[in-house]
Amino acid sequence: MPPSGVDLGGLQTENSNPRTATIDKVSTEELCRILHEEDCRVPAAVTPCLPEIAATIDALTERVRKGGRVFYIGAGTSGRLGVLDASEIPPTYSSPPNQFIALIAGGDYALRNAKEGAEDDRSAAKTDLDAFNIAPNLDSLIGIASSGRTPYVLGGLEYARSIGCTTVGVVCVQPSAMAIEGNTDYLISAVTGSESVTGSTRMKAGTATKLVLNMISTGIMIKLGKTYGNLASLRMVDLKATNIKLRQRARNILRVIGGQRCHHSDQELDAILATARGSTRLAAVMMVLDVPLVEAELRLDRNNGVLDRVFTEAETQSRGTSCKATILSKDGAVGAGFGGPCNVIAGAIQQATDSCPTTKGRVFSSIKFAAARIGLAGYDRPAVQSSVNDGLSKLLNLKIGAGLEVTTDIDLLPVASASEETVECAVVLVAGTGSIAMSFRKENGAFVRSGRAGGWGHLLGDDGSGYSIGREALRMALRESDVCSMRKQASAPAQPTSQLAKAVFGHFKEKFPEAKPEDLLSTVMMPNSAPQQPRDAVMDRTSRIAGVAKTVLAMVKTNEDADRIVAAGAEKLAELAALLVLNQGIKPSKASLVLAGGLMQDEGYRRRIVGSVERAGYKFQHVEVVDQPAMNGARFLLRSAQTLQ
């Protein structure tokens, strides 16, 4: 075993601090200033450690997600800080009480009483850890020692490393005995330098240790989905409402997440929380998605407990149920709002109201709107229109045809071109997860839909879409995955992997850390073990495949395979535009080409599409890129209202 002894004189924490040499002679206020200035140096000591802390969080998160435990061991102040951090996790994030476990040299007695000799017993850590039946493939150990040389901690790390646990060291010196022994997978060395009181590592070293431990445990909880949006820094979304303060906090969280959708009284929210067994996260899914407890649990399990992924999945499955609202006043004031994944129109409108200087501070139902135009996915289904029209009329206090116009979301896209007096028609190309082309003719100053091409769905069409581009890249990567698997089974040398295939593998590895190149197909088709409804599974796969498109587009300038795939997609979209022009007698010189959808926000892809259209002999008078349909609609309404005045 390597020697663990280190000359204390060589430790930065044991050196005399010249900046505090006179602290016993100055005034009390000056004393406080000196101590404060020393403490202010601590965060800078943690900054160089951030990459190692991040790697630690990623490694431990995957183990905890699978049911693993995180053990802290330390002596004296270091041990107490471990106990503090571990004990705060369950009430803050509703984690099981045995998920984060802290051990201190000398046992619980040492928490309140100095037991200095206990730290020198190197073998005691093994004894303490054995009592917990360590699972090496799941459990992790964080060894905390400001000096980097505490025998109790070094012994624990040596034992944990020998049986296969992931090990982490937290020290405040460099070099350290912990580094020399080499029993840590991750070593975080926050060098805080000389203490204000020589050797008193409960001060700067203790503060740095607290910062590091806070960051590790908080990072793990965030990665596990225990927070949501800006609630990550304000309130904990997975708390258990076990006392008066936490019950009120849980209600507040549900109201923030639910927005305008949450009209519940305290008693009603308490009832939802009771059904959710006190879990704010489960209650949020039940309330926002209006699903029973069992389905809420399935959705959370399917998304590894991450609330944001649950709502994003719901948005994808509903095919565009997010809601964006824009308010414009005649004096030029602008307000914008977003309703989230459940088409909460009222919430989006209220957000827009709150962000518009002219209407800020008012409830939108009290505002008299001159006109409103709503674009809804699926509105062209007759069964939907009647109930939607009634609801929107009541919501906005406007009547259909008398200030309120409701159309499909696609019908909003060409309105920006309506102000171009010489434009008679518009061809709209939409490329997001799927793709479609639509044509419009101008009637009485507004565009009316006249035709469509494509839009057949991912099984039969969607050429040039994110799904199409992602699918082609995946086919290439899957061929290489098959080769990788075959050569591995035959014990043959690995074959060089193309850059595009590497990027595709990396894309899925980032999202699913356990993914393996030789089993890429399984990752694409069904990375989640939780049961899914057939439609859910199909939409999951569709969005995963479409997600590869961003990776392909990012490689166009440096990779021939990516360039070929993207060029083919652009040609297919150009063909859709050509079909509409040829078969409807559209004159490009008097028409607008409107580009919309997620992929159209990529400038390079847009240029390819326009170039392909023009090479086919169709040069449009006007090319419009739509990234904010709600804003375009609001501007059109404002212009129309001003024209009538």
pLDDT for 400-446, tens place per residue?
A: 888 888 877 778 788 777 667 788 999 999 888 888 899 999 888 77
Residues with a known catalytic role? 88, 119
The DSSP-derived string for 502-549 is: HHHHHHHHHHSTT--GGGHHHHHH----S---HHHHHHHHHHHHHTTH
pTM equals: 0.48
pLDDT per position as a tens digit, 208-224:
999 999 999 999 998 88
CA–CA distances in Å: residue 2 to residues 5, 57, 162, 176, 184: 9, 28, 14, 13, 14
Is the Cβ–Cβ distance between 239 and 228 less than 8 Å?
Answer: no
User: So what CATH class is 8-223?
Assistant: alpha beta
The predicted-structure confidence for 310-331, as pLDDT tens digits, reads as follows 776 554 443 444 566 777 666 6
CATH assignment of 231-317?
Answer: 1.10.8.1080
Residue ranges covered by each domain of the chain: 8-223, 231-317, 324-420, 467-544
- Higher pLDDT: 12 or 131? It is 131
- 100-104 vs 399-400, strand pairing mode: unpaired
Express each pLDDT in 240-277 by its tens digit: 556 777 778 788 888 888 776 677 788 888 888 889 88
Q: d(Cα 189, Cα 205) in Å, to the nearest integer?
A: 10
Supply the DSSP string of 584-644, one letter for each residue.
Answer: HT--GGGEEEEEESGGGG-HHHHHHHHHHHHHTT---SEEEEES-HHHHHHHHHHHHHHHH
- Higher confidence at residue 617 or residue 231? 617
Q: What DSSP character marks residue 174?
A: S
Find tokens 């847009």 and name the residue.
Answer: 606
- CA dihedral sign, ordered 31, 34, 40, 42: negative
When pLDDT is averaged across residues 126-146 and rounded to a whole number, the result is 95
Pairing type for strands 399-400 and 166-171 reads: unpaired
Is residue 234 predicted with pLDDT exceeding 70? no
Q: What percent of the chain has pLDDT over 70?
A: 82
How deeply is 533 buried, as exposed, middle or buried, from its count of CB atoms within 10 A (0-12, 13-18, 19+)? exposed
Is the distance from CB of 358 to CB of 331 less than 8 angstroms?
Answer: yes
Average pLDDT of every residue of the chain: 81
